[in-house]
Each structure stands twice: as structure tokens, then as C-alpha cells.
Amino acid sequence: MTQTKYSVLVSVFLLLLLTAGFFLAARVLLNKLHSSVATAVATPSATAFIQPTATFTAAPTAKGSSQHPPTAEPTKTPAPQTAQVVTNISGTMTNPMSSIPSDTNQVFCLAKLPGVPIGTPIRFRFQKLSAPDDYYHQDEQADGGTKLAWIYGPLQPGQWRCLVEANQKPVGTAAFTIH
């Protein structure tokens, strides 16, 4: 009988030891995962969020210094709409925003392109209307669904727009104000 009590006590002790070891290992693993995710979110890296087909171009420092040919100065005239284009602070078309706080971390531009054939080159142009060149642009390819691009904030207050082009022709635009 004493041996049975001893065996039960040893079994309970081992069970408690294994359980504590499991929870300790899980906590260490979750801490590593959390710090990895926090580092990825805090570091504005293209590979953490952008689809593999995205190409980045640094914002021009002077007129005509972009790697791409200079574009016409943005105007407040909207492009003809053949696509539904919205801006938001999240990657969703629901509840689009036209007024965005200046301390926002990311501004998304989403385009629903129903009439654009799959594989067509798409360009998202983020433009501050008082500047002569694109603030940022991103190239994509139509895939028959909704495409998106974004820029990191904070952004300067003022009037902005996201102009979406398919085959170098405007298909939609969304104006927004940074305040």
C-alpha cells in the first residue's frame, strides 16, 4: 500500500513538472513570436506587408528626380471613373474615409476594377495636390478583383488623392484630406 501511495505522489509530481515545463516553453515561444511581430510592425519594411509583385520607388526629393518620367502636375480635376476607388485607414472598402488624421500610420487606396482584364498593368498614384510629382506610386497587375496600395504616415496636412491608372489611363480617383 505504501508503494502505491509513493507511485501516485511521484506520478503527480512528474505531471506537475511536465505541465509547468510545457507552460514555460509556451510562454517563451509566445514571447519570441510577439517580439518578432512587434519588430515587423514597427519596421516599415516592404516585404512585411506588400504583395510580391509590388515595386517601390522612393519619394522624389526634387522635381524630376524620380526614377520614372515626371508626370503632369496634379490638379483637383477628378479622372473619369470606371473603377470604384476609395481611401481608408484599413485594407477594406467598407466605411471609406475622405478625412484622415495626420497622425495615421497608413493610408490605403483600394480599387475595385470590374472592367479591367486580368494581367493589365495598374498604377496607384498617391499625390499631394500642392506638389508637382507623385508622392509615391505602386505598380500592380489586375487580377479580376480588388487591388490595394498604401503609404506610410504620418502625412502632411492638406488635399491628397489616389489616382488609379490601367494601361497608363486613369480609371478612377479618390480624394482625401489629411488634417
Distance CA 157, CA 95 (A): 21
- Return the exposure string of 43-71: e unless at least 16 CB atoms fall within 10 Å of the residue's CB, then b: eeeeeeebeeeeeeeeebeeeeebeeeee
The answer, yes or no, to whether the previous bond of 170 is cis (omega within 30 of 0) is: no
Tens place of pLDDT per residue across the chain (179 aa): 677 888 888 888 888 877 877 776 767 666 665 555 544 444 443 333 333 344 444 444 444 434 444 455 555 444 455 789 999 999 998 899 999 999 999 999 999 998 889 999 999 999 999 888 889 999 999 998 899 999 998 899 999 999 999 999 999 999 999 99
Distance CA 11, CA 171 (A): 71
Q: What is the DSSP string of 13-35?
A: HHHHHHHHHHHHHHHHHHHHHHH
Q: What is the DSSP string of 34-47?
A: HHHHHHHHHS--HH
Distances from the Cα of 135 to the Cαs of 50, 74, 89, 117, 155, in angstroms? 18, 11, 18, 27, 10
Q: Which H/E stretch holds residue 7? A: helix 2-42
Structure confidence at residue 16 (pLDDT): 81
Structure confidence at residue 19 (pLDDT): 83
Which residues, 6 or more positions from 92, have their beta carbon under 8 angstroms from its beta carbon? Answer: 110
Cα Rg of the chain (Å, integer): 25
- Predicted structure pTM score: 0.56
Distances from the Cα of 142 to the Cαs of 25, 78, 111, 178, 179, in angstroms? 45, 22, 10, 28, 32
